[in-house]
Every structure is written in structure tokens, then in C-alpha cells.
């Protein structure tokens, strides 16, 4: 993180107004500023105001500087590192109560206000500009008090997106004709809107920049994340939010959010600004981890989300009768009216000042509270403790009913304790990640994600034992007696989402995002829960420092070397070798181990650098039936406006060294694909899910491209959809000529379009005896982690364990078909299937018993080629390292020539 100190002691009057810099006032109709202009303005403000310091957090995915302005009084800025240190010490909560009280009295409240994360939500970046100007230019008593009592972190969350969206909007020379429509590509290079789903994984460069600032440097007590848009008939969503809230977070978080929401709502009423809605008036909750405002909850920070209406092109707030009667969710309804961009800016500033005023007036209390929550976590992690969850309480309720003849209220305290505090169900005191596990480099990637989230991690300097089990030196230890224990638990332990329905027997209420996401499971990391206190020769890793897997020494070999197929990073080395012209083979007798022949020592050493992959000497008998590996020519579907699933796939391909070419529908429909490509990847969304594979109400079309007349001619080649017989025929032709098509999610409906004899497993006999799809009242699995059985012996499953945790989502936004395959067909083979009636590992799986016996992934011979179809996204948000090998094997074993070997 680069700190650029500018402007200390300069004249306040020299600060330029937005009008002077941009040529228009922020909030003017039809006018947007791009990031180039915004960056220049931020630098100019820092150079001319003694209230600001400028920090470059790092570079973005497209190479721009990601900036943060720090605003406070000149006196505070002169002692900035001292105040930052106080904020860190209180957040880490290692000092005692007396020292914490003294630090809270000395410190300044740290408030994070960001903007621009979702670039299509243009209010966010522009309120940030206006807030900078107001903090620089206002000289009223309230603003001076705020600057004296607080340190304000003004953070631009997505510079690349602002540049793209503003330039796209402003391309129309006639202001009144400007429309905020979708540009040709994602507004974050790989993730688009999903950039706000990356914070516990930190796969994106921008996320890493933000996490370092928040969790390893500044530890703000309030984190305010600006978004759009509000429900129809309202102006802005404010806290508090609807249930459920995550049981891992401290109870002071939801109570603190109520206090902040009250401060915001009161200020809106004082300024005669109606239309603020909260609680059950919107869909937002505090259950999910992983967003810019939600991950702070697991770090004892008050994460605030607002969702405001607004558009640089004037718009309408509609008249909705149900939104006109005041209630506790919406105490001051807003009248239907034409709405202007400046009104959204003003509402955003009101929210900013409400929080800053609250932080100023409650400075010492906010600092004490973050300490107290951290201390609570340390104390809970230092003793036997139990965390209540829906499953634990449900089980206890059943036992209570049996023990008390149905009168659970008459149970004694001892009986209740026996039911809720069973020794084997107590919370872990810590987690050990053995250095001896098969895929240590992926475990290190998991550790890096924890490090970027500010989690304290230790590493063993020597071999040690815990509970009679031996662990080698180099193993990692994550203790529970730390301030960020809620986040630790959320990354290791399963989420247990409540059964959340509109009414008993009614439809489910969709979670805001995932219901379960346990990162250790998604990444396939081996770890042990330790239920008792333990110690050893452990040394702490530097907080926020990323580890690079160490290079292993390469033994001499006259035959050659093998790379373990269980290690994801082996694919990086293989791709480097193939690009260097070194032959690589796979060994069926060693579960697809990669073989590199002797005579390529220097190339192999270079290929293995910083992968953490160890090469072993190849045995003479291991080469029987070896299968050559060729660098695949990969085509990846995308669409106009960008597909997030395709974008995340691009990131995974690049991270593991695969070359690829992006194809748009028109290029695919033009045909002649086999001459140029070996593999065509169709991620979910490329093709619609057919009725035959959908549960009730989930079939549909893919999003339509905009009309060509609304898109500049240079982007017309990106338009179109892959639907209908024409698309099926092109794909059939590619397959019959020996190509390999890999599909996920809805695009796996291609199997039905090709006429393969398979059906949906998620069906039942209707009242008339006919087969019909299950309804969401019977079967509902929003994003969760499930366990599947792996059909070993298939080359596409080389390197995988016999049981695999996969991310699975068949909820509000996603489709995850589950198949029944014909019996006795050698040309259609299962890869993954649901063996258990209870496959849920983390999240919410209503009606999960319906999955038993269903197939989640399969491969089918089509002509000379092969179709591999997965019902779920195997590269979900670049998090699911456990299932990455399914993709890698599909690419590296693209040709049908190995089918006989595999069988």
C-alpha cells in the first residue's frame, strides 16, 4: 500500500470545486464523470487541502491506480499513524480492559465510505466525489467536529468500472438522448457484478487492495458500502436488515446496526427526505459472508448497506398504493414523482453525514465496542463454548420433548445444559491444517485468503502432537482465541441456514446470496478441528502477508518424473512444459499422474517454480498405457455485456496457465469450429435450460441481446444468442468431428437438445400419474455445499477423492439440473452422483432427499467427439478449488483417443 502525503499546510481556499474541475456539478442530469477525471480530482484535492491524505491501495485488474482519500483535521493527519495503531490495537483486542478504555479515550473513530463498486450503479462513485468536495469545502461547526473526532476513509471500489460505464453513457453527444444501458463487457474485468461476492476469497486484485486496507491496516468501526437500487416506490434502503442474521457474529452487530439505522432515518426525517425503507421492506439480510459490507460483521465492524434509486437520466418513482401507508419498515412514504440524479446525491450525503455525526458523537463508544466484541471472541475461543444453530436447537428440542413428556418449559437448567452443551458438540478451540496433505499448495491458497481477511495464522516450527495425532513441521494453526473468531468459524464450519418460508407449507424465502459457503470445504482443504486447548512451537505469520509455495528440490532420474494429479498447481507446471515443447503424458495406473521424461530437467525446474509441486522419480512400470497430453485449443463462450460465469472461468484459466479464445454467439453459429478448436466451453447461461430438466418454473430463455440499432456498429459482432436448432446443429457438427464440448448449469440442457436419452431426476408422479417437475415447496437448494460420490476410473476424475464437496445452487438465480441416465449405455457415463439422502454439507437444502441416486455430471460420446456436462458451476466465483480438477481434466483430456484406456 503506497501512502502519498500531499497538501499538508496548504490553503483551504485553493480546493477546486467539481464544477471547476469536471465542467458540471455532481448530480447534474445527463452528466457522468469517468475515473480518469475522478483520479485527477482526488489528486488535486489532496494537493490543495490540508484535510486530506492520498493513498494508492494498488493497481486494478486493468492497471489503474485504486485510490483512497483519508479525510480528517490537519492535527489528526499529523498523528495519523498513531491513530491507525490505536484502531488496530482495539480491533485485535489483545490489551486488557483498562488499556482499551484508555485507547478508546485517545483514539478517533474510523469510518469507511466507499463508492463505485457496482459501476452500473452510478450514484455510488458520484456521491463519493461530492463527499470529498463537501469535506474539503464545508466549514460549519458539525463538519469541523466530524473532522476532529473521526478519520474518514473515502475509498474508490472499482476504478475500471467507472471508466467503462461513464464513457459508455457519455458517448451520446446529445445529453437528452443519453441512456444508462449496458456496455459490451463486464464492468470488472472478470467478475462484473460479482465483484461484491469476492471478499472472503479475494480472487480479484481490487478485492485484495480493499481487504488489505480494511483488515490489515485501518480496521474501521463503520463500513459504509453504497449501492443501488431501492425497491419500487421507495428512495433508499437503510439498516437494519431483515432476518436471518448469522449466528457466528457478535450480538452487538445487529444492535449496532439498529442504532445506525435510527440515526440515518431521523436525519432523513429532519431534512424532510421521505422514502427510507428498512428491515422486511427489502430483501437484504445479515446472513451471508463475502460482500464488502457483510464480511465486516465477522470482524466486529458495523457494515452498512444502502440501496438508493437514481439515474443520470431523469426517472420516475412510481405510485404503488402498498408503499403509501406508513409502517415500521417505511415510516415516511415518498410521493410518486420525477426523480433527478442530484436528489440521489443529496440523499447519499445525508446518509454519509448521519453516520459521520453518529461516529463523532459516539467516538469513544464505537472504539470500545469493537474492542469488546473482539474480546468476547477471544474469551469464547479460550474456553469451552457452544454456538447455537438451527440444527442443534432442533435436535435439542426433540430430546427435550421426549425427556419432559412434551413440556420442555419444565426442564431443569442441568437438563437443558446436557442437551445443548454436549462435550462432542462444543466449538473448536482451533483448526490444524496438516502440511502432509496431498494438495498443500491449495491449502496455502486458503491460508492466503485468511491472511487477506486479517485472520491470525501460525505455522509449526517443529513436529507436534495434539490429541494423540502427530502433525509435521510446517503445518498451519488457526486458533479460535482471536478477535476475528466469527470469520474463522465461518471459513471452517458449515453454515446451517434456518428453514425460511413465507408461511408453513408455503414457498421459500430466497437468501440474499448463498446459504452456505464454507471455504475450506469449497477448496478441498484437509483440516482437523481441535476441541481442547493446545499449544506447540508455533510462530505467527505476518498479518496480510501472502505466502508463495516453496520450491522442492528435484531428484535425479534416468527415467523421468511424475507430478501428483491431486495437486491443482501441477496443471500450471504442465501448461508451462507444453508451451516449452516438453512432452507430457498421463499415467492411468497412477490415477492420471503427469509424466515428464528424462532429459528435461531444466525445463521442469522452471515449470515447477513457485507452484509448490514436488516431482517424484518415475518407476519403470508406471508408463504402461501412458496417454499423451496436448495443449488444448480452447474456445470459451461469452455474450454481449459479459457473462459473470464466463468471466470467472477466464480468471481460473489464466491463473492455471491455459490459453483460450473467447467466442461470441455469431462466431459459434458461423460453424467450422473443429478446424480451430479442440474444446468448446459453454458455461451456465450460454444455453437455456429446457423444460425437461427444470424444476417447476425454472425453465427459460437466455438473456436477449439489445437491439442492434442501440449498439455502435463496432460491437454488433458481439450480439446474438445460442438458441434453437441452428445452434444445436453447429454444436452437433463440432462434436461429430471429434470436438469436446464442456457445459455447466443451464447449458447442460444441450444433452437434451442433442437427443441423448436422459431425463431429469427431480420429478415426481403427479395426481394424474404423469411425470411432473418438483416444486420449490418440495425441493429448494439455494447456493450451498453438497457432497457427491466420484465415479473413479474415469479419466475426467483423475486426481479426485472418492467423495467430493461441490458448490450447488438451484435457487433464485441459478439452475442446477440433476440427471437420470439410461442403464447399460456404454456411451453415456456418470462422473458424479448423489449417493446419500443427506448430501448437505453447508447451507440449506430443503428436500435434499430427492437428490439421492441422481447424476450431477456425466460424459457422452457424440460421433467422434465427447460432451461433458456438469449440472453445477465447477469454477464458482474462482472459489471451488476442490472441483477445479474436473475442468482441468476436461481440457487436458480433450480427445476421445484415451476413451479405451480410461475404460
Instruction: Give the pLDDT score at 11.
Output: 43
Q: Does 289 have pLDDT greater than 80? A: yes
Packing angle between helix 252-270 and helix 363-381, nearest 10 degrees?
Answer: 160
- Helices in 12-108 by DSSP H: which ranges? 18-22, 35-48, 74-77, 80-92, 97-106
Instruction: Give the pLDDT score at 900.
Output: 33
> Please, what is the average pLDDT of the chain?
95
Instruction: Give the pLDDT score at 3.
Output: 47
Tens-place pLDDT, residues 795-816: 999 999 999 999 999 877 788 9
Average pLDDT, integer, range 21-44: 99
Name the nearest CA neighbour of 243 among 111, 390, 354.
Answer: 390
Q: Does 581 have pLDDT greater than 90? A: yes
CB burial of 265-283 (b: ≥16 within 10 Å; e: otherwise) equals bebbeeeebbbbbbbebbe
Task: State the Cα–Cα distance between residues 581 and 573, nearest whole angstrom.
Answer: 12
CB 264 within 8 A of CB 302: no
Same fold across 2-331+341-377 and 634-902? no
Average pLDDT, integer, range 772-789: 96
Model's pTM, two decimal places? 0.96
Tens-place pLDDT, residues 593-605: 999 999 999 999 9
The percent of residues above 90 in pLDDT, for the chain, comes to: 90
CB 883 within 8 A of CB 874: yes
Task: State the Cα–Cα distance between residues 217 and 1, nearest whole angstrom.
Answer: 9
Task: State the Cα–Cα distance between residues 754 and 862, nearest whole angstrom.
Answer: 9
- Sequence-distant (≥ 6) Cβ neighbours of residue 240 within 8 angstroms: 254, 257, 258, 261, 278, 279
Tens-place pLDDT, residues 850-900: 999 999 999 999 999 999 999 999 999 999 999 999 999 999 987 754 443
Average pLDDT, integer, range 227-231: 98
Q: Does 573 have pLDDT greater than 90? A: yes
Better-scored residue on pLDDT, 166 or 767: 166
- Give the domain 2-331+341-377 fold: Aminopeptidase (3.40.630)
Segment among 251-265, 498-512, 808-822 with least mean pLDDT: 808-822
CB atoms within 10 A of CB 382: 15
Instruction: Output helix, strand, coil percentages for the chain, rounded to the nearest 5.
Output: 35, 20, 45
Average pLDDT, integer, range 307-335: 98
CB atoms within 10 A of CB 418: 14
DSSP-derived pairing of the beta strands 560-563 and 593-597: antiparallel
Q: Which CATH code for domain 634-902?
A: 3.40.50.880
CB 343 within 8 A of CB 310: yes
Q: Does 284 have pLDDT greater than 50? A: yes
Segment among 1-10, 345-354, 659-668, 723-732 with least mean pLDDT: 1-10
Rg (CA), the chain: 28
Distances (CA, A) of 380 to 196, 250, 375, 376, 481: 30, 11, 9, 6, 7
Give, rounded to a whole angstrom, the gap between the first and last alpha carbons of the chain. 53
Torsion (CA) 611, 613, 614, 617 in degrees, nearest 10: -110
Spell out the domain ranges in the chain.
2-331+341-377, 388-421, 560-629, 634-902
pLDDT band (50, 70, 90) for residue 443? very high
The percent of residues above 70 in pLDDT, for the chain, comes to: 97
Q: Does 727 have pLDDT greater than 50? A: yes
Amino acid at each position: 500500500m503506497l501512502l502519498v502525503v500531499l497538501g499538508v499546510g496548504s490553503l483551504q481556499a485553493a480546493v477546486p470545486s467539481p464544477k471547476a474541475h469536471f465542467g458540471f456539478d455532481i448530480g447534474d442530469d445527463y452528466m457522468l464523470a469517468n475515473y480518469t477525471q475522478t483520479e485527477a480530482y482526488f489528486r488535486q484535492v489532496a494537493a490543495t487541502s490540508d484535510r486530506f491524505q492520498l493513498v494508492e491501495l494498488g493497481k486494478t485488474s486493468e492497471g489503474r491506480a485504486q485510490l483512497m482519500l483519508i479525510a480528517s483535521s490537519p492535527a489528526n493527519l499529523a498523528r495519523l499513524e498513531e491513530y491507525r495503531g490505536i484502531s488496530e490495537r482495539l480491533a485485535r483486542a489483545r490489551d486488557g480492559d483498562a488499556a482499551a478504555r484508555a485507547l478508546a479515550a485517545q483514539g478517533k473513530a474510523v469510518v469507511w465510505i466507499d463508492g463505485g463498486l457496482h459501476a452500473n450503479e452510478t450514484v455510488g462513485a458520484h456521491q463519493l466525489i461530492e463527499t470529498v468536495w463537501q469535506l474539503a469545502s464545508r466549514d460549519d461547526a458539525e463538519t469541523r467536529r466530524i473532522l476532529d473526532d473521526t478519520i474518514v476513509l473515502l475509498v474508490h471500489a472499482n476504478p475500471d468500472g467507472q471508466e467503462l460505464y461513464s464513457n459508455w453513457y457519455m458517448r451520446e453527444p446529445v445529453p437528452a438522448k443519453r441512456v444508462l444501458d449496458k456496455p459490451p463487457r463486464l464492468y470488472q474485468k472478470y467478475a462484473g457484478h460479482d465483484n461484491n461476492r469476492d471478499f472472503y476469497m479475494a480472487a480479484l486484485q481490487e478485492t485484495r487492495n480493499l481487504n488489505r486496507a480494511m483488515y490489515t491496516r485501518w480496521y474501521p468501526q463503520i463500513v459504509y458500502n453504497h449501492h443501488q437500487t431501492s425497491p419500487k416506490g421507495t428512495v433508499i434502503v437503510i439498516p437494519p436488515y431483515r432476518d436471518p442474521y448469522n449466528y457466528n457474529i457478535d450480538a452487538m452487530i445487529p444492535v449496532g446496526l439498529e442504532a445506525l439505522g435510527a440515526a440515518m432515518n431521523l436525519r432523513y426525517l429532519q431534512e424532510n427526505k421521505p422514502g427510507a425503507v428498512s428491515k422486511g421492506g427489502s430483501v437484504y439480510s445479515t446472513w451471508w459472508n463475502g460482500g464488502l459490507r457483510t464480511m465486516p460483521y465477522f470482524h466486529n465492524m458495523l457494515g452498512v448497506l444502502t440501496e438508493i434509486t437514481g439515474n443520470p437520466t431523469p426517472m420516475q418513482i412510481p405510485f404503488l398504493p402498498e408503499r403509501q401507508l406508513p409502517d415500521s419498515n417505511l415510516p415516511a412514504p415518498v410521493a410518486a414523482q420525477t426523480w433527478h440524479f442530484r436528489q440521489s446525491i443529496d440523499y447519499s450525503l445525508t446518509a454519509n453525514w448521519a453516520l459521520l455525526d453518529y461516529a463523532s458523537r459516539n467516538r469513544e463508544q464505537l472504539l470500545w465496542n469493537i474492542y469488546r466484541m473482539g474480546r468476547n471472541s477471544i474469551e469464547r475461543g479460550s474456553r469451552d463454548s457452544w454456538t447455537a444453530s438451527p440444527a442443534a436447537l432442533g435436535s435439542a428440542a426433540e430430546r427435550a420433548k421426549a425427556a419432559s413428556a412434551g413440556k420442555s418449559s419444565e426442564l431443569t437448567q442441568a437438563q437443558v445444559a446436557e442437551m445443548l452443551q454436549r462435550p462432542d458438540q462444543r466449538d473448536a478451540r482451533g483448526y490444524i491444517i496438516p502440511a502432509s496433505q496431498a494438495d498443500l499448495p491449495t491449502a496455502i491458497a486458503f491460508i492466503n485468503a485468511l491472511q487477506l481477511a486479517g485472520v491470525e495464522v501460525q505455522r509449526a516450527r517443529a513436529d507436534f502432537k495434539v490429541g494423540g495425532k502427530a502433525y509435521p513441521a510446517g503445518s498451519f494453526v488457526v486458533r479460535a482465541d482471536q478477535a476475528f473468531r466469527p470469520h474463522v468459524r465461518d471459513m471452517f464450519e458449515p453454515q446451517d441456514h434456518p428453514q425460511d418460508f413465507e408461511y408453513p407449507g408455503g414457498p421459500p424465502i430466497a437468501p440474499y446470496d448463498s446459504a452456505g459457503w464454507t471455504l475450506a470445504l469449497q477448496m478441498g482443504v484437509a483440516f482437523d478441528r481441535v476441541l481442547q486447548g493446545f499449544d506447540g512451537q508455533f510462530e505467527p505469520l505476518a498479518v496480510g502477508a501472502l505466502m508463495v509455495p516453496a520450491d522442492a528440490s528435484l531428484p535425479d532420474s534416468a527415467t523421468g518424473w511424475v507430478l501428483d494429479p491431486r495437486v491443482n498447481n501441477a496443471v500450471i507446471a504442465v501448461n508451462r512444459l507444453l508451451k516449452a515443447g516438453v512432452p507430457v503424458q498421463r499415467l492411468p495406473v497412477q490415477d492420471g499422474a503427469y509424466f515428464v521424461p528424462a532429459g528435461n530437467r531444466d525445463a521442469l525446474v522452471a515449470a515447477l517454480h513457485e507452484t509448490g509441486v514436488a516431482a517424484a522419480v518415475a518407476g519403470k512400470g508406471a508408463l504402461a498405457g501412458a496417454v499423451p497430453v496436448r495443449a488444448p485449443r480452447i474456445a470459451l463462450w461469452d455474450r454481449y455485456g459479459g457473462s459473470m460465469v464466463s468471466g470467472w472461468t477466464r480468471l481460473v484459466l489464466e491463473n492455471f496457465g491455459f490459453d483460450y479464445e473467447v467466442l461470441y454467439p455469431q462466431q459459434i453459429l458461423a460453424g467450422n469450429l473443429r478446424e480451430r478448436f479442440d474444446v468448446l466451453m459453454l458455461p451456465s447461461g450460454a444455453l437455456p435450460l429446457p423444460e425437461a430438466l427444470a424444476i417447476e418454473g425454472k425453465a427459460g430463455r437466455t438473456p436477449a441481446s439489445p437491439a442492434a440499432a442501440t449498439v455502435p456498429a463496432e460491437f454488433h459482432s458481439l450480439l446474438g444468442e445460442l438458441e434453437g436448432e441452428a445452434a444445436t446443429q453447429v454444436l452437433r457438427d463440432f462434436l461429430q468431428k471429434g470436438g469436446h464440448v464442456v457445459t455447466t448449469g443451464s447449458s447442460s440442457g444441450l444433452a437434451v437438445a442433442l437427443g441423448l436419452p436422459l431425463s431429469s431426476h427431480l420429478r415426481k408422479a403427479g395426481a394424474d400419474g404423469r411425470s411432473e417437475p418438483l416444486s420449490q415447496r418440495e425441493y429448494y437448494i439455494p447456493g450451498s455445499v453438497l457432497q457427491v460420490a466420484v465415479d473413479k476410473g474415469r479419466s475426467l476424475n483423475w486426481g479426485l477423492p472418492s467423495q467430493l464437496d461441490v458448490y450447488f445452487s438451484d435457487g433464485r438465480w441459478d439452475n442446477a439440473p440433476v440427471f437420470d441416465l439410461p442403464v447399460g449405455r456404454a456411451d453415456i457415463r456418470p462422473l458424479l452422483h448423489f449417493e446419500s439422502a443427506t448430501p448437505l454439507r453447508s447451507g440449506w437444502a430443503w428436500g435434499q432427499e430427492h437428490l439421492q441416486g441422481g447424476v450431477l455430471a456425466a460424459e457422452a460420446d457424440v460421433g467422434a467427439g465427447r460432451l461433458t456436462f456438469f449440472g453445477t458451476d465447477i469454477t464458482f466465483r474462482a472459489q471451488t478449488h476442490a472441483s477445479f480438477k474436473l475442468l482441468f481434466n476436461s481440457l487436458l483430456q480433450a480427445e476421445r483417443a484415451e476413451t479405451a484406456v480410461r475404460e
